Structure 1
Amino acid sequence: MRKLIVTNIVSLDGYFEGPGGNVMALPMDGAFDSYNAERLRTADTLLLGRRTFEMFQGFWPTVAENPAFGPVQQEISRLDNAIDKLVISDSVTLAPTAAWTDTTTVVSRAAAHAHLADLKQSDGGDILVFGSHTLWNDLLAADLVDELHLIVGAVALGGGTPAFTAANSLRLIETRRFEGSDNHLARYAKVYA
């Protein structure tokens, strides 16, 4: 059975993004990038909502060949380019010549839970969610998330989009400090009744 793992950065005061939807208000440093690369190495499916897919598709495909970026970001780009992507959306259409079209499948929101339940039962690596706040909260409510890997950023935003939209029971399974970073990892398993 495959694990569905949500990996995201949140502020100390529990926000997924800052005021006005500003995700760049969070301290996404080298430790954040390194952890994301680590997670991508164990996954074979990247699960995204529409907004995150469009943002990633507009940024990551060319980073691998761009010398302005460091080796970890270039690795993330190569991994993102190669991995199967599953987008949950009722509005995304894939242009034949767009980046990632050949590695992306779009599933409607109505079919998403059944599709993911079947996918989790198949053989393969982790199913990884980055960003996609609305999607991962829906998957938590549907009892489809196995683990949350939250990078707790060393910033209090004082407002923005709360990370969670409903109450959830979680069990701490790991914490990790990152050398040279004020961010840390809090890894949780979802507790289901």
Structure 2
Amino acid sequence: MRKLIVTILMSLDGHYEGPGGNFMAMPLDNEFDTHNHAELAEAGTLLLGARTFQLFQGFWPQMAGDPAATEVHKAISRRNGEIEKVVVSDTPAEEQDGPYRDTTTFVRRADAHEYIAGLKRGEGAPILMFGSRVLWNDLLAAGLVDEFHIVLGAGVLGGGTPAFDGKTTARLRLLGSETHAGSENIVLRYAVEKQG
């Protein structure tokens, strides 16, 4: 069985993005990128919602060849290009285009639970989610999320989009925590306790 891991940055007051959908309002630092690269390196599949996928395609591909990009950004760019991606989107696959087209499978929302459950029944490295708040809240409600890796940001935003949609309950078990030199953020790793 493969694990489905959701990794997110969350402010101390529980927000996933700042007011007006501004992700750059989040308490970001260089260790956030290092953390994300480490997560990507261990994953076998990247699972994204349609909006996050479009954001990734618009930002990451050119980073590998950008002389001004950090080495971590270049490494993330290369890994994003090669990793198998699954995108939940109601836009038909034949209408999808972009640099990730050849490494991406598109799944309609109505088929997502069954498809992702099938991926999880397979063997291999974990399935990783970045962003995609609407999708992972839905998958949490469906009992398909196995772990949360939450980068708890050292900041209070006072508003924005809550990380959790308030519709689903879940019991979590702490697997571990870590801090990094030069960062005020803390990484919390939780297992989702299966109910019933």
TM above 0.5, yes or no, is: yes
Q: CA RMSD in A?
A: 1.2
Contact 1:18 1:25 in 2 (8 A): yes
Deviations 1:14-48 (A, max 9, x none): 00111111111112211100010000111111000
After TM superposition, list the pairs within 5 Å mapping 1:124-135 onto structure 2.
Answer: 124-135=124-135
Structure 2 unaligned blocks of 5 or more:
none
Measure the CA separation in 1 of the matches of 2:8 and 2:96.
30
Q: For residue 172 of structure 1, what is the aligned residue in structure 2?
A: 174
- Cα contact 1:170–1:190 (8 A) shared by 2: yes
SS in 2 for 1:37: helix
- Larger deviation: 109-118 or 93-102? 93-102
Closer, same or farther in 2 for the Cα pair 1:67/1:187, shift >3 Å? same
Corresponding residue SS for 1:31: helix
> Whole-Å Cα distance in 2 between the matches of residues 92 and 27 of structure 1?
36
2:187 is aligned with 1:190: no
Corresponding residue of 1:44: 44
State the alpha-carbon separation in 1 of the partners of residues 94 and 16 from structure 2: 27
Alpha carbons of structure 1 residues 188 and 92: separation in structure 2 relative to 1, 3 Å: farther
What residue is the counterpart of 1:181 in the other structure? 183
Q: 1:156-167 counterparts in 2 under 5 A? A: 156-165=156-165, 166-167=168-169
The letter of the residue matching 1:186 is L
Aligned counterparts of 1:73 and 1:188: Cα–Cα separation in 2: 26
Identify the residue that residue 2 of structure 1 maps to in structure 2. Answer: 2
- Segments of 4+ moved more than 6 angstroms: none
Measured in 1, the distance between the counterparts of 2:92 and 2:50 equals 7
CA distance in structure 1 between the aligned counterparts of 2:100 and 2:2, rounded to whole angstroms: 23
Residue identity matched to 2:174: L
Match status 1:18 vs 2:18: yes
The 5 Å alignment of 1:22-171 reads: 22-91=22-91, 93=93, 98-165=98-165, 166-171=168-173
How much does 1:169 deviate?
A: 1.3
TM-score (norm 2): 0.95
Deviation, 1:167, is 2.4
Point out where structure 1 has 5 or more consecutive residues left out of the alignment. none
- SS of the aligned residue for 1:120 comes to helix
- The answer to whether the Cα contact below 8 Å between 1:90 and 1:108 also exists between their aligned partners in 2 is yes
Deviations 1:126-184 (A, max 9, x none): 10000000000001000000100000011100111111113221111111011110011
Give the CA deviation at 1:95: 5.5
